[in-house]
Structure 1
Amino acid sequence: MSRDTHPGAQCPHCQSLLALVPVPGNSAATAVPLLPIVQKEEWQPPPVAEVLAVYAGRAKDTVTAARGAAKVRESLNRARANAAQRRAAQKAARHTPRSA
């Protein structure tokens, strides 16, 4: 059985993955084949301040922002209209009298 698939490789409380690593300089560790369990480091995203720092010195382009907002509004209105048409067609199909 692999160490990675061993049931002891996962914390029973928080379900985080654990890894077995040797402790250097410990004479007891060489005599006993069991190794201490330490938690693997999880990836974390960078701080928001670091991400936004790229945009800190930029000036706001109101023309481009307004154009982008208009495109988003137009797209949302188109989607709403399509959804309303689809619902109306489904409702009409459900209420159509059936012939015998």
Structure 2
Amino acid sequence: MSRDTHPGAQCPHCRSHLALVPLSANGTTGPALPVVLKEEWQPPPVSEVLAVYAGRAVDTATAARGAARVRESLNRARAVAAQRRAAQKTARHRTRTTTPTPKSA
């Protein structure tokens, strides 16, 4: 991994990578609780995302409509993919069977 693309804390002046050293309870450096850096590109933990929905009642009618929409969307995507594959197959078959005939002088 190159120095420029390495994620983590950097010195704003010299751009060298910095290591975070955790402090113990008495303020000295040494073994303490590990520090876990959350990088910018990481998604939030699932528990945080699902916490928003905790305690909500499930509306079965809305859930059924949502599931039906998802199924319909997947079926449309499958049909479009099948049409695309069929068109590609026909195009490949046509190019193999039609070869140019030499013109006679």
Task: Tell me which interval the TM-score lies in, with the shorter structure as reference length.
Answer: 0.5 to 0.7
Alpha-carbon deviations, 1:43-88, whole Å to 9, x = none?
Answer: 274571x543332221100000000000000000000000000000
**Residues in 1 aligned to 2:61 and 2:38: alpha-carbon distance in whole angstroms:** 38
**Cα distance between partner residues in 2 of 1:47 and 1:81:** 33
Q: Match for residue 85 of structure 1?
A: 83
Compute the TM-score of the two structures, normalised by the length of structure 1.
0.55
Q: Which ranges of structure 2 fall in alignment gaps of 5 or more residues?
A: 1-12, 21-34, 101-105
Aligned residue number for residue 63 of structure 1: 61
Query: Cα RMSD between the aligned structures?
Result: 2.8
TM, length-normalised to structure 2: 0.53
Judging changes above 3 Å, is the alpha-carbon distance between structure 1 residues 55 and 75 closer, same or farther for their aligned structure 2 residues?
Answer: same
Q: How many residues align?
A: 69
By percentage of residues, which structure has more helix? 1
- Structure 1 residues without counterparts, runs of 5 or longer: 10-17, 21-39
Residue 41 of structure 1: CA displacement? 6.2
Percent pairwise identity: 68
Label 1:83 to 1:62 Cα distance change in 2 as closer, same or farther (>3 A). Answer: same
Instruction: Within 5 Å, give how 1:1-100 maps onto structure 2.
Output: 2-4=13-15, 6=16, 9=17, 18=18, 42-43=37-38, 45=44, 48=47, 50-96=48-94, 97-100=97-100
